[in-house]
Structure 1
Amino acid sequence: MGNSKPQDNPIAVVGATGHTGRFVVAELKRRGQSAILIGRDADKLAHAGEEFGTQMVRLARMDDPHSLNSALLGAAAVINCAGPFIDTALPVIDAALRAKIPYLDVTAEQPSVRAVLETRHDAACQAGVALLPAAGFYGGLADLLVMTATDGSNQLDEITVVVALDSWHPTQGTRLTGARNTAKRLVQRNGRLEPIEEPQPHGRWTFPAPFGDQDVVMMSFSETITIANHLSAKTIESWINLAPLRDIRDPATPPPQASDDKGRSGQVFAMDVIVRAGDRHRRVTASGHDIYAVTAPIAVEAIQRLLVGEAAGAVGVRSLGEIFEARAFLESLGPDTLQVSYKDHAEAMLQREVDDARR
């Protein structure tokens, strides 16, 4: 983010005692940015306040607008890490609009992003406030990667996002969201959002090392909505390898455990993005460790860039790739957070399965 500094006022973190919220608070502290820790459990908030060396801890409930107003008092912006976001996004956004401060969340939920787009864009424009839903691993990272591959063109034929995880130890929030979010997942066909067909398409994808060839299934997250909202593409598809889905669907899979001094788990990820315009395929690949942990620097970088005026004039519901210079944003995260590579390819690499026998 260069030598610029964000505003002196603290950044509010809703869900600060949760798994991702703690990463966000730690990232803010690492950057010298003060935080207001917001949650619904007084004991957990007190413990987190001691751990992070702050007395700025505030209780709030989603069904109590007054408590949300009080929690955001004096904040420069708010980062919402409290899922399921289909329950929390709109109440926190409404409080942010009343306070006239920017809002960001880290949802992977398509229904949450669609609800924000459909019901809060006009109000945010009138308030002169930017709302950035889905500014984490799913949603924000994919959006940024896509923008680095567009070469400035808004007229695209296909966008394909393919994720590989070596494992997926879900947090309690991820499990709650999975149980709460039963909406059909959407992809884009002929420029329109529509449900993924049943049975879900399967295929084969070749990732960079250490993954190599992987069986994948079509499964979209919030990136489909964020990308479709600002890029004109005939087709937008998202895929994921099968191994992490077996983990997350097994109720016996334990939550993530720290494996380094930053609290990151040993999970390894790769996100491949292919953008096709005519005969040209542009491939961008990001890799790193722990999809929950990597969400924190992405979200904090975004909110700090917003506060120093990098996206001056950006109001309403926006996405990271839409308002920030994508390559510079990704490079600023540093190689310990994310490694990104860029390649041109003559043709697509997805091998779709024709028959369902293997399933």
Structure 2
Amino acid sequence: MTTTKDTVTIAIYGATGVTGGHLLTELNRRGITPILVGRNADRLHTAAAAAGIPDAEIRLADLDDHQALVAAFTGADAVISSLPAYVSFGEAVVAAAIDAGAHYTDMSGEQLFIKRVFDEYAARAEAAGVTAVPGITNSNIPGDLLGHLTAQRLTGPVEISISLHGTSEGHGSKGSARTVLASLDWFRSGGWHYQEGELRTGTTTRHAEMTFPGDTEPTAVSKFPQPPVLTLPRHTNVSYVEGVLETAFHSQLSSFTAEIVESLPEEPTPGLTYDLVVDSYAADGNTVRGVVSGRDAYVDSALMAVEVAARLTNGSAAPGVLAPAEAFDPTDFLNSLSQFGITWRITR
């Protein structure tokens, strides 16, 4: 059971997007009452009907109208924010959710936004008695939870490297591309890594190659702004945390433009399978690897976000802004994903 409440209501901002549809479908499957919040009533009704809930409640609010957003979220047990480019648009939703007394989560993969939520909204959420767990995607939450579990098997402090490896061919959504474009320089630079008690920038990685599960040869990787760099030091004994991604992806960013983004299809390729890989290194030379394997990056991110929101509604997590491993038992949460065909393992 993910909640002890008889009736749970979860509001979604961004329900008309690709991932928003997956969120609605999962809420409907669980029997959770959704509230669809947005600017366009016709599009919201269409999204609700497509998810099999044509009678879902619709509430209208613009991102630039704080009071309307607060009113739209009032009465919801939790809010899920599903937006492109959170660094540009996401702050309005988290602020309104907290002021409405609702727990909050989002599907951001942006270091800059997630750090802002921790820095600027922790005290506000704690005072309101609500919990916010930002950055729930198929890479972020497994990276945080697996990083915690793998580090426990070593004598710390440990060094951690995290990468998301696509195991099938295809393309992401236009929304994802817009997210990258909104912080293009940050993505190109590799973002933050954690070293000697602080966040630092720079393009150099300590692990320039990674042998992914099932491969016999290593793949060149480059620094990438993975959000667990921010969250793992909150609850795990680490000396260094970095995010990496295949160097081939960074090569694509060199020519990334707004024109290219707008030429992309709205929908991602279905069934984008992946491995989220966490390698932990101890000073004594021992290493531990954790892997989460999933069947569809976009669907799985939505499933994880609904799981987080549903768990938050039982009120067991402390108020404030928390990392995933601060809010939930890592093993229990990862085990709960098996119902969706998402598997995990830890090896030495």
Distance 1:186 1:306, change over 3 A: same
Confirm or deny that 1:343 pairs with 2:347.
yes
Q: Which amino acid aligns with 2:122?
A: H
Alignment of 1:26-45 (within 5 A): 26-45=25-44
Distance 1:253 1:87, change over 3 A: closer
What is the aligned partner in structure 2 of residue 296 from structure 1? Answer: 302
Residue 327 of structure 2: which of 294, 299, 323 is its match? 323
Q: What is the identity percentage for the equivalent residue pairs of Structure 1 and Structure 2? A: 28
- 1:9-66 deviations in Å (ceiling 9; x for gaps): 4100110111111111111111111111122233211211222323312222111112
Once residues 7 and 272 of structure 2 are traced to their aligned partners in structure 1, the CA distance between those partners, rounded to angstroms, is 35
Confirm or deny that 1:46 pairs with 2:52.
no
Distance 1:210 1:288, change over 3 A: farther
What is the aligned partner in structure 1 of residue 244 from structure 2? Answer: 239
Q: Do the aligned partners of 1:168 and 1:247 also contact (CA within 8 Å) in 2?
A: no
Task: Give SS of 2:175's match.
Answer: helix
- CA shift, 1:228, in A, is 2.8
- Tell which deviates more after alignment, 85-94 or 29-38: 85-94
Quote the RMSD (CA, aligned, Å). Answer: 2.5
Q: Do the aligned partners of 2:151 and 2:236 also contact (CA within 8 Å) in 1?
A: no
What is the aligned partner in structure 2 of residue 307 from structure 1? Answer: 313
Q: Do the aligned partners of 1:155 and 1:231 also contact (CA within 8 Å) in 2?
A: no
- 1:214-263 deviations in Å (ceiling 9; x for gaps): 222221222211223333421101111245556776636545456xxxxx
Q: TM-score, normalised by structure 1?
A: 0.85
Q: Which amino acid aligns with 1:67?
A: A
Confirm or deny that 1:220 pairs with 2:222.
no
Once residues 288 and 73 of structure 2 are traced to their aligned partners in structure 1, the CA distance between those partners, rounded to angstroms, is 42
Once residues 283 and 206 of structure 2 are traced to their aligned partners in structure 1, the CA distance between those partners, rounded to angstroms, is 24
Q: TM-score, normalised by structure 2?
A: 0.87
Aligned residues: 334
What is the aligned partner in structure 2 of residue 175 from structure 1? Answer: 177
Residue 267 of structure 1: which of 267, 272, 282 is its match? 272
- 1:62-106 deviations in Å (ceiling 9; x for gaps): 111122022212211101111211233321122112211111011
Confirm or deny that 1:128 pairs with 2:119.
no
Q: Which amino acid aligns with 1:35?
A: P
Once residues 307 and 77 of structure 1 are traced to their aligned partners in structure 2, the CA distance between those partners, rounded to angstroms, is 6
Once residues 113 and 340 of structure 1 are traced to their aligned partners in structure 2, the CA distance between those partners, rounded to angstroms, is 25
Once residues 107 and 62 of structure 2 are traced to their aligned partners in structure 1, the CA distance between those partners, rounded to angstroms, is 19
Once residues 274 and 341 of structure 1 are traced to their aligned partners in structure 2, the CA distance between those partners, rounded to angstroms, is 12
Q: Do the aligned partners of 1:156 and 1:232 also contact (CA within 8 Å) in 2?
A: yes
What is the aligned partner in structure 1 of residue 13 from structure 2? Answer: 14
Q: Which amino acid aligns with 2:283?
A: G
What is the aligned partner in structure 2 of residue 353 from structure 1? Answer: none
Q: Which amino acid aligns with 1:144?
A: L
Q: Which amino acid aligns with 2:214?
A: A
Once residues 196 and 168 of structure 1 are traced to their aligned partners in structure 2, the CA distance between those partners, rounded to angstroms, is 30
Distance 1:33 1:275, change over 3 A: same
Q: Do the aligned partners of 1:163 and 1:269 also contact (CA within 8 Å) in 2?
A: yes
Q: Do the aligned partners of 1:125 and 1:315 also contact (CA within 8 Å) in 2?
A: yes
Q: Do the aligned partners of 2:222 and 2:250 also contact (CA within 8 Å) in 1?
A: no
Q: Do the aligned partners of 1:139 and 1:226 also contact (CA within 8 Å) in 2?
A: no
Q: Which amino acid aligns with 1:177?
A: T
Q: Do the aligned partners of 2:151 and 2:158 also contact (CA within 8 Å) in 1?
A: no
Q: Which amino acid aligns with 1:94?
A: A
Q: Which runs of 5+ in 1 are unaligned?
A: 259-264, 345-359
Once residues 63 and 84 of structure 1 are traced to their aligned partners in structure 2, the CA distance between those partners, rounded to angstroms, is 15
Task: Give SS of 1:236's match.
Answer: strand
What is the aligned partner in structure 1 of residue 211 from structure 2? Answer: 206
Q: Which amino acid aligns with 2:241?
A: I
Residue 282 of structure 1: which of 257, 281, 288 is its match? 288
- Bigger helix fraction: 2
Q: Which runs of 5+ in 2 are unaligned?
A: none
- Tell which deviates more after alignment, 185-194 or 247-256: 247-256
Once residues 200 and 149 of structure 2 are traced to their aligned partners in structure 1, the CA distance between those partners, rounded to angstroms, is 26
Alignment of 1:126-205 (within 5 A): 126-151=127-152, 155-165=156-166, 166-167=168-169, 169-181=171-183, 182-183=185-186, 184=189, 185-197=191-203, 203-205=208-210
- CA shift, 1:292, in A, is 1.5
